[in-house]
Amino acid sequence: MTTYSAVVTTGIYCRPGCGARPRAENVRTFELAAAAEAAGFRACLRCRPYRIAGELPWDAPELVCRAVQLIIGGALDEGTEADLGRRLGMSSRHLRRLFHEHLGVTPDQFARSRRAHFARRMLDDTDLTVADVAFASGFGSLRQFNRTMREVFRATPQALRERRRRADRLTADGGLGLRLPVEPPYDWDATLAFLAGGAIPGVEAVDGGTYRRTITLDGGPGLLEIWRGGHDHLLLRAHLPYWEGLIHVVERVRRMLGLDVDFAATGHLAGDPIVGPLLKERPGLRVPGAWGPFEAGVAAIARQHHDTAGARELLGRLARDHGPVVPGLDGGLDRVFPAAEVVASAAGVPDPVRRFAAAVGAGEIRLDGTDDLAGLVASLTAIPGIGDAAAHHLAMRLGERDAFPAGDPALVAALGPDAVAVAQAWRPWRALAATHLLADELPRPL
């Protein structure tokens, strides 16, 4: 867990490792940068804490974690705290109380800080205009953007851009280049191998050390390219029809790659006789996420009924026959994965996939983080042809940290028939334990 140190005599907060050496009696600590900002502190110009993504406190309630994921997904871009509370079945007052108690900020303050930090990185790394940065970061107007940046960073966006360092600006041959900061260690080779093993023909491809995939952004086609940048960051090149809402594209990429790790999980599991040695051998292995929840769900169902080659063939056929065409791309990428409504009414789709697509399209199954793990698994397994293991595999890729596909043959082979009982000691981080137990087929990092 990252702990930020704020100095009351200077009004500045820093991340761990900063060279500043204040007197201990002048220091306050915060678990979130947003909480330090809400208390009136501004980011250090030396260590630039806004460039590192912080994690939530490990003991935050599940409802708070779920609300944070909805905020990251854009729930407060146009909606209100009251709207968010209704989605989670509580009042806005109770939601604010939970946030203040466990995070030190309100939901609105958390969302504001997140947008401001993303905008600051955009001002550093790119040459987009200030207006483009504002809308790419999720702000509704330039007035709101300018006011927030002054409140958080005590300077105008233009002044912040003038302060950027020579090495900050990223040049890209077409597209927009962005850094994806990550707390090391991070096993990019294992992540790349996982993505390559499940790459959907026509939609995804791995070429050398670069992962590429097609996407749609509000109906417009785009392309993402990701590769290793350094020990503490990856590089993303985004080719998009417009930059509004870019912050959500970047957050989805971070979830897909498992970049936001909770190091409390590794501490909890390190002493376990089964999982501990695996963590020590591969400390940078992360739980892989997914770009598209529906796409990941179809993949989980396909792998329940087919081997890897058969599942890829089915997914590729769905994309080829029913996915929108993306013209002008090389490397065999010419489709985006079809939407649930399209798959539900398409011919030649296996019954479990069709039923799943129909339920998602009708809103009977919600893949946006609104439902908890038990509710998600129950709604999935109620569909004939979707087993508990497939449901938990999908839940893992959607970020449910306690998901555990106990019926997966590889886990049964590793743990025996009492896999569920054995895994009780790993709660609430069974997803990370499962990832390590299932990772034998992945190559070791270079």
Residue 122 pLDDT greater than 70, yes or no: yes
Residues 149 and 203 in one domain: no
Contacts of 348 (CB under 8 A, 6+ apart): 321
Asked whether the beta carbons of 367 and 292 are under 8 A apart, the reply is no
End-to-end CA distance of the chain: 27
Pairing assessment for the beta strands 42-43 and 12-14 based on DSSP bridges: parallel
Given 162, 193, 217, which residue is the final one in a domain?
162
Instruction: Summarize the confidence of residues 177-186 as an average pLDDT.
Output: 92
pLDDT of residue 330: 77
If pLDDT is split at 50, 70 and 90, which confidence band does 86 have? very high
pLDDT of residue 419: 92
| Averaged pLDDT score across all residues of the chain | 91
Strands of 175-219, DSSP E? 176-181, 204-207, 210-217
Closest CA to 423 of 396, 398, 397: 396
Residue 305 pLDDT greater than 50, yes or no: yes
List Cα–Cα distances, 265 to 120, 287, 413, in angstroms.
30, 11, 24
Does the active-site annotation cover 272?
A: no
Task: Give CA–CA dist 117/243, Å, rounded.
Answer: 17
Residues 71 and 194 in one domain: no
- CATH number of the domain at 131, please: 1.10.10.60
Instruction: Summarize the confidence of residues 258-280 as an average pLDDT.
Output: 87
Task: Give CA–CA dist 160/121, Å, rounded.
Answer: 10
Does the active-site annotation cover 14?
A: yes
Residues 242 and 381 in one domain: yes
pLDDT of residue 61: 84
Task: Give CA–CA dist 312/198, Å, rounded.
Answer: 7
Q: Within a domain: residue 95?
A: yes
Residues 274 and 307 in one domain: yes
pLDDT of residue 144: 95
Given 131, 162, 193, which residue is the final one in a domain?
162
Residue 443 pLDDT greater than 90, yes or no: no
If pLDDT is split at 50, 70 and 90, which confidence band does 445 have? very low
If pLDDT is split at 50, 70 and 90, which confidence band does 130 have? very high
| pLDDT digits 0-9 by tens, 242-260 | 899 899 999 999 999 999 8
| pLDDT digits 0-9 by tens, 341-372 | 999 999 999 999 999 999 999 999 999 988 99
Least confident interval from 7-16, 94-103, 271-280, 436-445: 436-445
Closest CA to 291 of 203, 410, 371: 203
Q: Which residue has the tokens 């999982």?
A: 275
Instruction: Summarize the confidence of residues 422-428 as an average pLDDT.
Output: 94
Asked whether the beta carbons of 153 and 42 are under 8 A apart, the reply is yes
Task: Give CA–CA dist 443/446, Å, rounded.
Answer: 9
- CATH number of the domain at 336, please: 3.30.310.20
Q: Within a domain: residue 100?
A: yes
- The tally of domains found in the chain comes to 3
Q: Which residue has the tokens 């697509």?
A: 357
Residue 444 pLDDT greater than 50, yes or no: no
Instruction: Summarize the confidence of residues 307-326 as an average pLDDT.
Output: 94
Q: Within a domain: residue 147?
A: yes
Task: Give CA–CA dist 424/426, Å, rounded.
Answer: 5
What percent of the chain is modeled with pLDDT above 90?
75
| pLDDT digits 0-9 by tens, 208-223 | 899 999 999 888 889 9
Q: Which residue has the tokens 């991070």?
A: 186
Residues 133 and 185 in one domain: no
Residues 156 and 71 in one domain: yes
Q: Within a domain: residue 258?
A: yes
Residues 285 and 251 in one domain: yes
Closest CA to 232 of 251, 252, 258, 259: 259
Residue 90 pLDDT greater than 50, yes or no: yes
Q: Which residue has the tokens 């179809």?
A: 298
Given 113, 130, 162, which residue is the final one in a domain?
162
Best mean pLDDT range from 41-55, 316-330, 387-401: 387-401
Q: Within a domain: residue 53?
A: no
Contacts of 305 (CB under 8 A, 6+ apart): 350, 352, 385
Instruction: Summarize the confidence of residues 429-443 as an average pLDDT.
Output: 82
Q: Which residue has the tokens 């979707």?
A: 386
Residue tagged active-site, from 132, 334, 408, 418? 408
Residues 288 and 365 in one domain: yes
Residue tagged active-site, from 14, 44, 47, 65? 14
Residues 344 and 381 in one domain: yes
Provide the residue range defining the domain that includes 154. Answer: 62-162
Residues 114 and 258 in one domain: no
Asked whether the beta carbons of 371 and 379 are under 8 A apart, the reply is yes
Q: Within a domain: residue 291?
A: yes
Q: Within a domain: residue 242?
A: yes
Q: Within a domain: residue 445?
A: no
Is 282 strand, coil or helix?
coil
Residues 347 and 404 in one domain: yes
Residues 317 and 423 in one domain: yes
| pLDDT digits 0-9 by tens, 283-294 | 999 999 999 999
Is 436 strand, coil or helix?
helix
